[in-house]
Structure 1
Amino acid sequence: MHVRTEPAGPRKGTAARPPLVRELLLVLGLFLVYKFGRRLAIGHTTAAFHNADRVWGLERAVHLPGEGGVQSLLLHSGAVVHLANTYYATVHFPATVLFLVWLYVRRPAHYLWSRRVLAAVTSVALVLPFAFPLAPPRMLESTGLQDTARLYGPSVYGPPDADHLSNQFAAMPSLHFGWALMVAIGLIAATRSRWRWLWLLHPLITLTVIVGTANHYWLDSIAATALFLLAFTFIRAPDRAGRPRAGRPRCGRRRALAPSPG
C-alpha cells in the first residue's frame, strides 16, 4: 500500500516563521528608532521641569507612595544600589533581544505578536516627549532624591546639556518598565510551565530599580502599562499552540453545526 507523505511545514492555523533577514532588519530598526528617535524631542527643558513639578504634585495628591521610600531601601547598602544601577544600565536591551530571539526560534506566532506590540507601543512612546517632555525625578530638587548612578555608578547618562546619545527629558512613559512587562507577559503566554509566572519578577525588579534610582516616577510606569493594555486590545495574542484566537462563533454557524432532529 502506497502511503502519501506531505512535506514538513507549519501546522494548519499556526504562523510560519518569518524570513530571518527581514526580521533582523525590522528589530534592528525598532531599536535604532527607540535609541535615537527621542533625540528629536530635545530642546524643551523648561517644559520638562514644569511637567516634572506637575507629575510630582499629582502623585502626592492621589497619595501614591513616595519614590523616596524605594530609594532609601537601596541606599542601605552601597553594593545593592550599585547592583540596581547596573541592572538599569545593562539588562533592558539584552533581555528584550533574547526574548525576541527565543520566541522567533521556538514560538514564531508569539514572536510576531510580541514584535507587533513592541513596535506599536514604542512608536507611540516616541511621540509623547514632543507633547509632554518630562525631567526624571533625579533632576528635580524638590523630590529630595539622589542621582544614584552618578554617585555610586555605573551611569549611562552624562550631563543633560552635553549628552548627545539620549534624551533625558523623555521619562514618560517608561519603556524600561514597559518592555520588561512585555517580556514577562510574552513568556507567560507562550509557555506552559507551572513556573512561568515567575517571569513577573522581571518587571517587578525593573520597577523597583527605575523608581529607586530616581530615573522614573510611578506614573511613568502606569503610562507604559496603559499603552501595552491598549495594544493588547487591538493586537490579539495567539494561543499557546500558535493558533490565532478565534472570536465568538456566529449564530448561523452554531445552527449549522447542531445535529439535525430525527
Structure 2
Amino acid sequence: MVGAWLAYSGARSFSGQDVQSAVERGQAILRLDDALGFGWVLDVNEWALQHGVLAVPLSIGYASLHYLVTPLVLVWLWRRHPSAYQAALFSLIVMSAIGLVVFVAMPVAPPRLLPGFAWMDMLKVWSDYGWWGGGASAPRGFEHLTNQYAAVPSLHVGWAMWCAWAWRRSGGRFARRYGWLYPFGVAVTVVVTGNHYVIDVVTGLAVAAVACWFTPRLMTWWSARRRTEPVGAGSVVVGAR
C-alpha cells in the first residue's frame, strides 16, 4: 500500500505541466456548473471565507481527512474483517489508478486557480491557522511536490465514498446507516473551499462506484475460474509403483 501511494504521488506530480490547457478545461467545467444551476456555490465560498469559525474547520478537513480516514478504514478491514479486506484494497487501488490516468492525460485547474474569477482559495487565506501552505493541501514548504491541476475527478470524494461503501459492507448498524454522511461532508468541503467543481464531485462518485462495483466481481470471477481450471498437461502426478 505504501508503494502504491508513493507511485501514485510521484506520477501525479508530472501531470500539471500544461497549465493553459488545464485553465481552459477548468473554465469550461465552471461554465457547465453554472449552466446546471450551481452558480450559487461561489456565493457560499465567499461567505464562508469571511467566517473563520467555519473556514478553518473546512480547511482542516480538506487538508487531513483523506490522509487519516482512508488508511484507518483499510487497517480496520485488515484487522477486523479480513474476508472483505482484499476486495476493498484492490477497489481502492483501481479507483486511484483511474483518477491518476485522468490527471495525467487531462489536467484541470481547480476554481481557486482560474484567473479572472472571484473564487478564493480558502486554505491559502487561512493557512496561518494550519500546517498547510498556499499549494492545495500540501504541508507548508512541500507545495512543489503536489500537482495542483488534478481537479477532475475529485478523489477526496471518491475515497470518502469508498469508506462509506466499506462501512456499508462490513460495519455495524450505526456505520451502515450514517456512513454516507462522510462523503456528503467531504463533497461540501471540497467545493466550498474552492478546490473542486460540482462536476468533480459527480465524477469522483462515478469513479468510486465503478471501482467498488467492478473490482470485487472481477476478483470473484477470477477466483472461480482458477478453481475450475483443469490440471495442466505439464503437471506431474506421482503414483505408487
Q: TM-score, normalization: structure 1?
A: 0.74
User: Which residue type is aligned with residue 104 of structure 1?
Assistant: W
User: Which residue type is aligned with residue 31 of structure 1?
Assistant: W
RMSD across aligned positions (CA): 2.2
Aligned pair partner of 1:109 in 67, 70, 83: 83
> Which consecutive residues of structure 2, in runs of 5 or more, have no partner in the other structure?
137-141, 222-241
Aligned pair partner of 2:145 in 142, 162, 165: 165
Counterpart CA distance in 2 for 1:157 and 1:137 is 17
> Which consecutive residues of structure 1, in runs of 5 or more, have no partner in the other structure?
1-26, 238-243, 246-262
Structure 1 pair 155–61 and aligned structure 2 pair: CA distance change class (3 A)? farther
Quick check: which has more Rg, 1 or 2? 1
Structure 2 residue 173 is matched with structure 1 residue 193 = yes
Deviation at 1:124, TM superposition (A): 1.2
Counterpart CA distance in 1 for 2:167 and 2:43 is 31
Counterpart CA distance in 2 for 1:105 and 1:155 is 31
Counterpart CA distance in 1 for 2:131 and 2:112 is 13
Structure 1 pair 46–155 and aligned structure 2 pair: CA distance change class (3 A)? farther
Aligned pair partner of 2:2 in 28, 34, 39: 28
Is 2:62–2:189's contact at 8 Å kept on the other side of the alignment? yes
Structure 2 residue 121 is matched with structure 1 residue 147 = yes
Counterpart CA distance in 2 for 1:181 and 1:117 is 12
Q: Please, which moves more after superposition, 124-133 or 138-147?
A: 138-147
Percent identity for Structure 1 against Structure 2 = 28
Deviation at 1:77, TM superposition (A): 2.1
Structure 1 pair 156–172 and aligned structure 2 pair: CA distance change class (3 A)? farther
Aligned pair partner of 2:111 in 101, 124, 137: 137
* Residue in structure 2 matched with residue 9 of structure 1 by the alignment: none
Aligned residues: 212
Is 1:184–1:202's contact at 8 Å kept on the other side of the alignment? yes
User: Which residue type is aligned with residue 151 of structure 1?
Assistant: V
User: Which residue type is aligned with residue 183 of structure 1?
Assistant: C
Is 1:67–1:217's contact at 8 Å kept on the other side of the alignment? no
Q: Aligned runs of 1:177-192 on 2, under 5 Å?
A: 177-192=157-172
Q: TM-score, normalization: structure 2?
A: 0.80
User: Which residue type is aligned with residue 112 of structure 2?
Assistant: R
* Residue in structure 2 matched with residue 227 of structure 1 by the alignment: 207
3-state SS, counterpart of residue 145 of structure 2? coil
Is 1:85–1:149's contact at 8 Å kept on the other side of the alignment? yes
